[in-house]
Amino acid sequence: MGITCLGNTIPKVIPSIVSKKEKVAMVRSFSNSDSEDPNKIYCTKVRRNPVWNKRSEFNADKTKLLRGALFEHFRNDIGVSFCYSADKTEENDNDTILRNFANNGSK
């Protein structure tokens, strides 16, 4: 009975409206699972992975949560990963990230 009850209370999808506090908690969970610094929440760029490497599920989930529109742009290109920093001053908006990627291919 306990497992069934728990299974019925865990949401199957992320709600469309998530508070900043909830986002931070989710990112911490993603980051712990991926051995990533949980304070890295500021997207700085996208990069092309080395041949045959693909972005991690955690990188995708984090980006879906924090930068949904940017993730959608690269949804089908699993050879691209999203880079994050703990320093807010390094954060770039989506337009800057896309422009830099288009100009440099990965920088």
- pLDDT at residue number 33: 59
Rounded distance between C-alpha atoms, residue 19 and residue 53, angstroms: 33
How confident is the prediction for the chain on average, in pLDDT? 83
- pLDDT at residue number 81: 96
Which of residues 10 and 44 earns the better pLDDT score? 44
For residue 18, the SS3 value is: coil
- pLDDT at residue number 107: 44
Q: Distance from first CA to last CA of the chain, Å, rounded?
A: 52
Rounded distance between C-alpha atoms, residue 63 and residue 57, angstroms: 10
Q: Over the stretch 11-63, which tens digit does the pLDDT of each residue have? A: 666 666 778 787 777 777 766 655 678 888 999 999 999 988 999 988 999 99
> Side chain identity at 101, as an amino acid letter?
F
Q: What residues does 45 pair with on adjacent strands?
A: 83
Position 68 confidence tier, pLDDT thresholds 50, 70, 90: very high
